[in-house]
Amino acid sequence: MAHILVVEDDPIFREMLMQMLQAERHQVTAANDGQEALALIQRKPPDLVLTDILMPDMDGITLVGELRALPKAPPIIAMSGGRRSISADFNLASADLMGVQASLQKPFSRQMLLETIRKVLAA
């Protein structure tokens, strides 16, 4: 199975994602924000990055830009639920423009998550 880096600032949602992916036998590493994710990627590049968009310190859009600059950028799936002043659609459209392979609007189902991961890894 794949090594997946989950980048999510909400600890409850991050843990839920990790458990779902581990149940599918994926190796999972987690980061609280983009800064931590970049440090982890330098140590052990993942097969896939699953990142939230709205996070403190380094948001997902900045992280996507940094990853795209790498010589061997991993595929990226962006996730967003939006906030009052910024819609999830806007966040995910921005991520699409930055070059992510797929996007998921929160909340999403376990089945939708696993299908999206399968498609991106197969591409």
* Stated pTM of the model: 0.91
Provide the pLDDT for residue 111. Answer: 96
User: Which tens digit of pLDDT belongs to each residue from 11-23?
Assistant: 999 999 999 999 9
pLDDT for residue 85: 57
> pLDDT, tens digit, for every residue of 11-54?
999 999 999 999 999 999 999 999 999 999 999 999 999 999 88
Q: Could you read off the pLDDT of 74-87 as tens digits, one per residue? A: 999 999 876 655 66
Query: Which pLDDT score, from 0 to 100, does residue 81 have?
Result: 77
Least Cα distance to 7 among 57, 68, 71, 70 occurs for: 57
CATH fold of 3-122, please? Answer: Rossmann fold (3.40.50)
Kindly list the domain boundaries of the chain, sorted by start residue: 3-122
